[in-house]
Chains A and B, each alone.
Chain A
Amino acid sequence: MLATVSSATLVGVEGKAVSVEVHVTRGLPSFTVVGLPDASCRESRDRVRAAVLSSGLKWPQQRVTVNLAPSSVRKGGAGFDLPIAVALLLADEQLPGRSVAGMAFLGELGLDGSLRNVPGALALVDALPAQLVVVPPSCSAEAELVRGSDVRCASDLRQLVEVLRGKRGWPARPPSPAVAAPTDSLDMTDVVGQPLGRLAVEVAAAGGHHLLLVGPPGAGKTMLAERLPGLLPSLGADQALEVARIHSAAGIPLPPGALVRRPPFRAPHHSASVVSLIGGGGNQMRPGELSCAHRGVLFMDELGEFPATVLDTLRQPLEEGRVLVCRARASVVFPARVLLVAAMNPCPCGREGGPGSCRCRESARARYAARVSGPLLDRFDLRVEVDRPDVADLMVDTTRSGRVESTAEVARRVAVARQMASARGVPCNAEIPGPGLDQLAPVEPGARRLLEVRLRQGRLSARGLHRVRRVARTLADLDDRPGPVRVDDVYGALALRSDVLTTEEVLP
């Protein structure tokens, strides 16, 4: 007997429909899975057999062939356990033939027959070509995001079989958890002093400008970076779904309700490989950290310690907002629109880094600075030094003085600036195209003169000019000034783009 059941597999962050065909015939008892299954897929044989037997069902003592079609696509994961079990029971005539019409299945089976979570359920369910989708209860929130009321859940195989045999109705889906207003526990009020760092974080959030923080250990670089996502506005429904789809595929736990409303914050360790950062690897092409931080913040602490090859692969995705990962078997586009925040020490010894204050050799400093290539350094619109706060700042009684702004206050200004940017027709100021600057971000004559002087002095490159103008635009937006960019804004933008990491220029 032959039976076919619909399911799906994951390639990158997209689902691909797969039909699971099971053929049961006379012959020596055996169980074969064909159709480019990976190891976890092939192992379903043992899980399915145990689950069927422990659910009080019969295992056919015949020759069983499972085909996953189309056979040209590599299939991975344990999500085929349930469709294989259902198709097997159909082929063995333990289930009525028409009972699964218009249904698709997804789920991993435990040896006791229970249904377990499948990574990437969001994208998988989206790709299922059936009217009703049957998923494990733990995936129901994700499935409902894309299929609404067409989702059915069963807690284990025995329950599902009873439903399909018509002995009982579908069990109730787990109730959607109340989506609490997301709160970020990290608040800007914790940051003491650091006027420049605070401004840089605010500008980065408002304009989507990549930020490089340079300072000695313990200066608060990580503290500032971690508070950046809190300043970003919550994601819209489409964006939240987009991010949820990536996180689901990457196996990152989703928040209650499955929608990722808050911009993600990802901080890979500097031992990260190219594949782990960019994506790819395995048959399923897992999204990398860059994509996991999509619409959020990618924080790279100790930027200088990342291998140069890893850093330079970031350049193109940062520019394009997506990354095309190509392998022999498949090529996948991952979304990768991130706000990159990086932190590093000013020199290898990690002291204050002031001129003449550390004993690092000039050559060692130059080598350290050279780890971050010029083109990558150029992507950072904002480069600021962060130093250890003064003692006086640390000892200020913040409860009394109350002069430290909270995340909520700053986020309000950021929201206004973001709205002004979108009114201009760009997602954020960092993405204003170079030729559009004169139209979208005009500058006053005084500001133009200042920029001209800096260009003539050779302290600003042509590309740097564009970046300074974009940051100046953001500064004006944060001040709620729609008019042309003023000279003050340009001074501010220049102050936020210091020549950190440059070494002694020796000869004329």
Chain B
Amino acid sequence: MTGGAGSRSAPGPQRLTGHEAYAAALSGLPGMGPATLVQILRQWEPGRAWEEIRAGRLTRPSPGRSATPVGLFSEPGMSDEQPVVKSRPTWAEITNRLEPESWWAAIAARGIDVTWPGRADYPAALANDPHPPGVLFWRGSLAGLQQPCVAVVGTRSATADGRAVAFELGRDLASAGVSVVSGLALGIDGAAHLGALEGLPAGGPAGPVGVAASGVDVPYPRRHARLWERVADAGAILSETLPGRAAQAWRFPTRNRVIAGLVRMVVVVESHASGGSLITAEAALERGVEVRVVPGPVHSPASAGSNQLLYDGPGPVRSARDVLDALGMIRPEAAAGMAHVDSPVLSPDAVAVLEATGWRPCSMNQIVSRASIGVAAAGAALDELESVGYVVNEGGWWVRRR
């Protein structure tokens, strides 16, 4: 694999003539899964593999057995080719039509690069993964992956409290030199990335890492387009998906295994009873990666999945301090910034309203009913509580924060 590493260090046009184009093109062949691709790339360098395919010496594995080497090295026209398979264009036909180098040059010009197992910049954590990605497209800088990495994941329909916790985790971890890895989704993921961007010291190496299910140049969800740019500028966006491809449902669990493979710890902030973040946690446990859970309110559906996970074994974390502690990298200066503030003195109305609010999101109507005070008085009390950070208003719902 010396060719790949050499082309990586060389700048400009010389890189374009390297194997990147062929690695990228290989990953786009129909029926090319990560396992097959890894196997091919372990055998040949990408350019050479491409030639093998063009020459028909390397053919598409028969369906359903893509993970096994059977059929991979068979001669063209051999007996294991099924009629169904025959109706599809063969890899040889496809590769003979394609011009990977000019195609890739246009993609590379947009600041997108690619790496694959065996290259120096391929994330070390994935090298020994049971199901490593065959290729990883990326934008930004992979330097953040050299730092300790922690994934902060959770539900897309998160509560204000969950988002606040994710934001604080991201912020405090980034400021402590931990790269925050997440999935760029709405809710918890986005909040964690925003926090990491906020806490990252200028020029700090631990940039946030976003792992996408769509191509690295296709922001999904669209509302996060701006977040994508900021993450790519400060850290990196990775994806197994070809640039330009939209996200498909099946790519999300696959993406989650990449997140789990990249990190030293997965922190689940909030998850519904069946959520994608539980898949990430499961993938992490398979890989021996530590999983930690932020406990949520017992009645909150948004915490049903994460609390179940917590019950099943993984330990809780309350803040970035607990995460750093578990990673064995707690530092006095990092801990100092996370001290709790003293409780302020509250008016009697505010105390009554705070009690009435409880720990579940509740409406103004419920607060007024339970506290048995006037609407105006309740409004004033909530204003007071909000100003000292006890409650937040989220879409008309009042949520207690502390």
Task: Verify that A and B bind, or say they do not.
Answer: yes
CA distance A184 to B368 in the complex (A): 28
B396 touches A498 (CB 8 A): yes
A500 touches B375 (CB 8 A): no
B227 touches A362 (CB 8 A): no
CA distance A450 to B387 in the complex (A): 12
Q: Is B270 an interface residue (CB 8 A)?
A: yes
What range describes how many residues of B lie at the interface?
35 or more
The interface-forming segment of B36-44, B72-80, B260-268, B355-363 is: B355-363
A292-325 interface code vs B (CB 8 A; 1 in, 0 out): 0000000000000000000000000000000000
Contacts of B270 in A (CB 8 A): 356
Q: Is B157 an interface residue (CB 8 A)?
A: yes
Pick the residue among A353, A355, A386, A390 that contacts B302 (CB under 8 A).
Answer: A355
Contacts of B187 in A (CB 8 A): 362, 504
B301 touches A386 (CB 8 A): no
Q: How far apart are A476's CB and chain B's nearest CB, in angstroms?
A: 10
Pick the residue among B221, B301, B365, B396 that contacts A356 (CB under 8 A).
Answer: B301
Pick the residue among B360, B375, B396 that contacts A492 (CB under 8 A).
Answer: B375
Nearest to A360 among chain B residues (CB) is B157
Q: How far apart are B221's CB and chain A's nearest CB, in angstroms?
A: 8
Nearest to B362 among chain A residues (CB) is A354
A495 touches B361 (CB 8 A): no
Given known A-B contacts A356-B300, A499-B395, A502-B395, A386 and B365 have beta carbons under 8 A apart: yes
A339-369 interface code vs B (CB 8 A; 1 in, 0 out): 0000000000000011111111111000000
Nearest to A508 among chain B residues (CB) is B194
Q: How far apart are A485's CB and chain B's nearest CB, in angstroms?
A: 11
CA distance A385 to B393 in the complex (A): 13
B396 touches A496 (CB 8 A): no
Contacts of A389 in B (CB 8 A): 369
CA distance A504 to B194 in the complex (A): 14
A197 touches B157 (CB 8 A): no
Task: Find residues 484-508 in chain A having any chain B CB closer than 8 Å to their own CB.
Answer: 487-489, 491-492, 494-496, 498-504, 506-508
Contacts of A377 in B (CB 8 A): none
B365 touches A387 (CB 8 A): yes
Q: Is A196 an interface residue (CB 8 A)?
A: yes
Q: Is B329 an interface residue (CB 8 A)?
A: no
Given known A-B contacts A498-B396, A502-B395, A502-B396, A356 and B369 have beta carbons under 8 A apart: no
Pick the residue among B186, B227, B301 that contacts A357 (CB under 8 A).
Answer: B301
Task: Find residues 453-508 in chain A having any chain B CB closer than 8 Å to their own CB.
Answer: 475, 487-489, 491-492, 494-496, 498-504, 506-508
Q: How far apart are B299's CB and chain A's nearest CB, in angstroms?
A: 9
A377-391 interface code vs B (CB 8 A; 1 in, 0 out): 000000111110110
Q: Is B245 an interface residue (CB 8 A)?
A: no
Q: How far apart are B192's CB and chain A's nearest CB, in angstroms?
A: 13
CA distance A439 to B88 in the complex (A): 80
Given known A-B contacts A354-B360, A504-B186, A506-B223, A361 and B156 have beta carbons under 8 A apart: yes
B383 touches A491 (CB 8 A): yes
A356 touches B364 (CB 8 A): no
A357 touches B226 (CB 8 A): no
Contacts of B224 in A (CB 8 A): 506-507
Given known A-B contacts A355-B302, A492-B375, A385 and B186 have beta carbons under 8 A apart: no
Given known A-B contacts A359-B272, A393-B369, A506 and B376 have beta carbons under 8 A apart: no
Nearest to B371 among chain A residues (CB) is A195
Residue in A197, A488, A491 with the greatest tally of chain B CB atoms within 10 Å: A491
Q: Is A214 an interface residue (CB 8 A)?
A: yes
B395 touches A355 (CB 8 A): yes
Nearest to B274 among chain A residues (CB) is A359
B362-402 interface code vs A (CB 8 A; 1 in, 0 out): 11111011100011111110110000000001111101000
Q: Is B215 an interface residue (CB 8 A)?
A: no
Binding site for A on B (CB under 8 A): 155-160, 162, 186-187, 190, 194, 221, 223-224, 226-227, 270, 272, 300-303, 360-366, 368-370, 374-380, 382-383, 393-397, 399
* 20 pairs, A vs B, C-beta closer than 8 Å: A195-B368, A354-B362, A355-B397, A355-B399, A356-B300, A356-B303, A357-B301, A387-B365, A387-B366, A390-B366, A489-B376, A491-B375, A491-B383, A495-B376, A501-B396, A503-B395, A506-B186, A506-B190, A506-B224, A506-B227
The 5 closest A-B CB pairs, nearest first, are A356-B302, A491-B379, A492-B376, A495-B379, A196-B365
Beyond the given A196-B363, A362-B157, A385-B397, please list 16 additional residue pairs across the A-B interface where CB-CB is below 8 A: A193-B369, A194-B365, A354-B360, A357-B300, A385-B365, A385-B396, A389-B369, A390-B369, A393-B369, A488-B376, A488-B377, A492-B375, A495-B364, A498-B364, A507-B226, A507-B227
Binding site for B on A (CB under 8 A): 193-197, 199, 214, 353-363, 383-387, 389-390, 393, 450, 475, 487-489, 491-492, 494-496, 498-504, 506-508
